[in-house]
Amino acid sequence: MDKSLVFYCILFILIGEFILATVMNYLNAKRFKDPIPKDLSDVYNLEEYAKSQDYKLTNYKFGIFTSIFSLTLILLFLFFGGFAWADNIAQSQSENIIIQALIFFGIIMIGSDILNIPFSYYQTFIIEEKFGFNKTSKATFFVDKLKQWAMTVVVGGGILSLVIWFFQWAGTNFWLYTWALVAVFTLFMNLFYSKLIVPLFNKQEPLEAGSLKEKIENYAAQVGFDLQNIFVINGSKRSTKANAYFSGFGKEKRVTLYDTLINDLEEEEIVAVLAHEIGHYKKKHIIFNLATSILLTGLMLLILSLFINNPEVSLAIGVNRPSFHAALIGFGILYSPISEITGLLMNHFSRKFEYQADDYAKHTYAALPLVTSLKKLSKNSLSNLTPHPAYVFMHYSHPPLIDRIRNLKA
Ligand SMILES: [Zn+2]
């Protein structure tokens, strides 16, 4: 392999992905003004519909701007020796390759995150604010950033150090040890994320006794689901948008409801949403997703191990000498078309699972409260009721509202 060939591959991938994403966004935007399907005519009134149109268009334009910025930034970095600059700093600080890698990634990741702050600031305090979604204070915004960085340094830095240590010790077999490490970490996070990480950002309390809790417990008993942990999280600290999710398994399984969800929906609708979440568990979607993500990580690490000792993969990003950390960057870009494809597959399964969970809620509880809750949630997040099928195929982890409602009413 020749390093300029690899360099051109990298350019081709970066620009190709940009063009693909832009075309998809454009196709989707062309349907913003499509007539609303009859089954969804009661989601918005005229004024809300106009507001949702405005919201979609604002986000579309902002998306064009940010994606051009990101592409330009990485191209400038590639053409003007940005990676070599970060690599030279890393090398001048230490002889140890683990410390070099930590400094290198520290510069790249913290640097790109700082450059992205104005964009996420604009998204939160101008766009979300304008449409009435934002509840985040400026203090929360910046404290969140600091906490995220601290987590990246501790967790990301820890894992990166171990991976390079495996590499020094086991050569190309490092991928097997890394795979085991990531698998254990993924399982651990799935079990304890709600207990360990969520409290760093939010308050969560057990759902208080009352008619809602009674209804949920009655339903859970009826389907034979041992539900000990129902928590309410203060999502309203950051946004008015509502959500509910399931996490963990075995004794650690828990359902988390946003306080915004409890405010927006009737009790029957909340039970219906919960029935959908329990459906995911009963239909083994949680286990399937975990197992697949671990398998896909294994595949990626195996391919990485075939490329990692190839000096061209490092040199193609413009550094002066090959290294594990430079090869990781080069590999990350070269692998991205494959991860786009595995992402498509995962989205495909995810959409299928949504229908299955909806069916579960329909058969064990009722379809109507789920229909009305989905409509309310769509209305309250000003969501797009007429997405382009190609865009759905690529990006949607959930089927469009109209398809879910047709399935629930069938
Ligand atoms: Zn779901």
Which segments are annotated as binding site? 276, 280, 354
Q: Return the structure tokens found at 138.
A: 């400026």
Q: Please write the tens of the pLDDT for every residue from 64-105.
A: 999 999 999 999 999 999 999 999 999 999 999 999 999 999
Helices vs strands, H then E, count in the chain? 18, 4
Answer yes or no: 277 catalytic.
yes
The residue from 17, 128, 358, 403 that is catalytic is 358
Instruction: Say whether 203 sits in a helix, a strand or coil.
Output: coil
| pLDDT reported for residue 3 | 81
Instruction: Say whether 232 sits in a helix, a strand or coil.
Output: strand
Share of the chain above pLDDT 70, in %: 100
Answer yes or no: 358 catalytic.
yes
Which segments are annotated as binding site for Zn(2+)? 276, 280, 354
Query: Right CATH number for 204-282 from 3.40.50.1220, 3.40.47.10, 3.30.390.50, 3.30.2010.10?
Result: 3.30.2010.10
Measured in angstroms, how far is the CA atom of residue 45 from the centroid of ligand 1?
Answer: 27
User: Model pTM?
Assistant: 0.91
Measured in angstroms, how far is the CA atom of residue 141 from the centroid of ligand 1?
Answer: 28
Expressed in angstroms, the distance from the first to the final Cα of the chain is: 56
The residue from 113, 277, 340, 403 that is catalytic is 277
Measured in angstroms, how far is the CA atom of residue 353 from the centroid of ligand 1?
Answer: 7
Measured in angstroms, how far is the CA atom of residue 133 from the centroid of ligand 1?
Answer: 22
Q: Please write the tens of the pLDDT for every residue from 235-263.
A: 999 999 999 888 888 888 888 999 999 99
Q: Please write the tens of the pLDDT for every residue from 99-158.
A: 999 999 999 999 999 999 999 999 999 999 999 999 999 999 999 999 999 999 999 999
* 154 vs 159: CA distance, rounded Å: 9
**Residue type (1 letter), 270:** I
Each as own residue / partner, the long-range contacts of residues 404-408 (CB below 8 Å, 24 or more positions apart, any chain) are: 404/354, 404/355, 404/358, 404/374, 405/39, 405/40, 405/371, 405/374, 405/375, 406/39, 407/355, 407/358, 407/359, 408/358, 408/362, 408/367, 408/370, 408/371
Taking a C-beta distance cutoff of 8 angstroms, is the pair 396, 32 a contact? no
Q: Please write the tens of the pLDDT for every residue from 371-402.
A: 999 999 999 999 999 999 999 999 999 999 99
Strand blocks (E) in 244-392: 244-247, 254-258
**Residue type (1 letter), 378:** S
- Around 116, how many Cα atoms within 13 Å sit in the side-chain half-sphere? 15
Residue holding tokens 């268009």? 57
The partner residues of 254 in beta bridges, in order of sequence, read 229, 247
Question: What are the domain boundaries of the chain?
Answer: 3-200+284-409, 204-282
Sheet of 254-258: strand order equals 204-206, 229-233, 254-258, 244-247
Measured in angstroms, how far is the CA atom of residue 43 from the centroid of ligand 1?
Answer: 20
Q: Which residues contact 287 (CB under 8 A, 6 or more apart)?
A: 249
Confidence category of residue 226, pLDDT binned at 50, 70, 90: confident
